[in-house]
């Protein structure tokens, strides 16, 4: 678990000045497993007693994303842009198309495949995106069946 001083250090290394909101946003996203939308970050800041207006929240997360402290993520069937803390390891999710719940997939299934692809193509692979979609048991019970 990272501490406030770690977030300060990250800001400094990225050439960003320390602000309470920047630090709090990093902490909120580092503590949240699934990525969050700007509106959810806005609400989490209020809960922490650090209210900011939505346009400030947008501006702050864009700044943090530009410096690669946050990663952007988008999901099929969801118009929102989600933000996640840029952790040392990357993550994949099983996403419910009904309720948008995101279940982390613990093990990356693509490690061997990347190596194979590098050998085959002589590219240097830098990363990948993968999310898997479906309907969770709750939504399936409510009648969603998928295609």
Q: Indicate which single residue of 86, 108, 114, 134 sits in contact with Zn ion (rule: CB under 5 A).
A: 108
Residue 99, interface with Zn ion (CB under 5 A)? yes
Q: Which of residues 68-97 bind Zn ion (CB under 5 A)?
A: 96
Residue 110, interface with Zn ion (CB under 5 A)? yes
The span of 25-33, 48-56, 99-107, 115-123 binding Zn ion (CB under 5 A) equals 99-107
The sign of the CA dihedral 139, 140, 142, 143 is positive
Least separation in angstroms between CB 25 and Zn ion: 25
* DSSP letter (8 states) at residue 89: S
- The residues, ordered by sequence, that sit 6+ positions from 93 with a Cβ below 8 Å of its Cβ are 34, 102, 103, 104, 105, 131, 132
Closest CB to Zn ion among residues 9, 138: 138
Closest CB to Zn ion among residues 58, 135: 135
Please count the residues of this chain forming the interface with Zn ion, following the rule CB under 5 A. 7
Q: Which of 54, 55, 48, 57 is nearest to 22 (CA)?
A: 57
Would you call 72 helix, strand, or coil by DSSP? strand
Cβ burial 112-137 (10 Å sphere, 16+ → b, else e): eeeeeeeeeeeeeeeeeeeeeeebbe
Rg of the chain over Cα atoms, rounded to whole angstroms, equals 18
Q: Indicate which single residue of 62, 80, 98, 131 sits in contact with Zn ion (rule: CB under 5 A).
A: 98
Closest CB to Zn ion among residues 99, 132: 99
Least separation in angstroms between CB 47 and Zn ion: 24
Residues that bind Zn ion (CB under 5 A): 96, 98-99, 108, 110, 136, 139
């Amino acid at each position: 678990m990272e501490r406030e001083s770690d977030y300060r250090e990250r800001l400094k290394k990225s050439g960003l000045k320390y602000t309470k909101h920047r630090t709090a946003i990093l902490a909120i996203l580092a503590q949240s497993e699934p990525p969050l939308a700007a509106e959810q970050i806005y609400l989490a800041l209020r809960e922490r007693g650090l209210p900011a207006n939505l346009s400030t929240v947008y501006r702050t997360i864009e700044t943090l994303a530009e410096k690669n402290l946050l990663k952007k993520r988008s999901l099929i069937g969801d118009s929102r842009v989600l933000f996640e803390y840029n952790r040392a390891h990357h993550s994949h999710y099983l996403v419910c198309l009904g309720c948008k719940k995101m279940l982390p997939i613990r093990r990356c299934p693509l490690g061997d495949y990347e190596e194979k692809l590098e050998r085959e193509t002589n590219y240097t692979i830098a990363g990948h995106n993968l999310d898997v979609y479906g309907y969770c048991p709750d939504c399936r019970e409510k009648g969603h069946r998928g295609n």
